[in-house]
Amino acid sequence: MSLFFVNILIFSFIPLTFGRTNSHINNIDITTFLSKKVTTSYIIMSTPLLNKKKESSEQDSNPEEEIAYRPYIQKSSQYAYKKQYSKAEKELKNGLVLYNTNSELQVTLNMIKDMKSRIIAPSHASYLSKGFYYIENNNYEKAIFYFLKAKRINPNYPFTYLCLGISYFQLKQYNKAEKNLIKAKKIFAYNKENHGIKVAEKYLFKIP
């Protein structure tokens, strides 16, 4: 902000701030005014700009909703572990009836559909479903073990990197988490899968 603009800002705010006519301004300690009134106003004006990234990243975050939709994903993981992909798909669709804009439900559904339709190889699907099951049961080390196996079969499947990133994040291995989440985001972007991008960004934002 230029000095000229700041001066205009100062004198335009004086009547509004004190609710007086200009004849009373001479009685104000201008140093106090500058240090308290204008500085405060400027901080209030500037804070939204400084926090724009934070607000945009957090705008879809809703802890109460996350608690509510998580059981659908957990139940789906149990069915997927048993290779009951139709039941896993149905569970996620039930969740999307209530939370139809939820990206985690949608991106998980896309993975289950790939398993069900055999777009991905059965061996790949087997490792993914096991990793999916363990990540939903908070056994992140074991989840990583299976996702790394899945990665060796298909190194271009974004859900694998997404889950690796989440698992490493939960274990506070933030460098590995970031690396995998960025990889997932790039593949999701290439495939124009916006839900996957949003989930990757959600966890990238949380990395300290």
Asked if residue 150 is part of any domain, the answer here is: yes
Encode pLDDT of 27-57 as tens digits: 444 444 344 443 333 333 333 333 333 333 4
Instruction: Please indicate, yes or no, whether residues 117 and 200 belong to a single structural domain of this protein.
Output: yes
Question: Distance (Å, rounded) from C-alpha 122 to C-alpha 69?
Answer: 28
Encode pLDDT of 132-159 as tens digits: 999 999 999 999 999 999 999 999 999 9
> Nearest to residue 49, comparing CAs of 117, 109, 112, 1?
1
Helix, strand or coil for residue 171? coil
Asked if residue 174 is part of any domain, the answer here is: yes
Instruction: Please indicate, yes or no, whether residues 88 and 44 belong to a single structural domain of this protein.
Output: no
Instruction: Please indicate, yes or no, whether residues 76 and 40 belong to a single structural domain of this protein.
Output: no
* Average pLDDT taken over every residue of the chain: 79
Range of the domain at 191: 63-206
Give the pLDDT of residue 121. 92
Q: pTM value? A: 0.70
Instruction: Please indicate, yes or no, whether residues 35 and 93 belong to a single structural domain of this protein.
Output: no
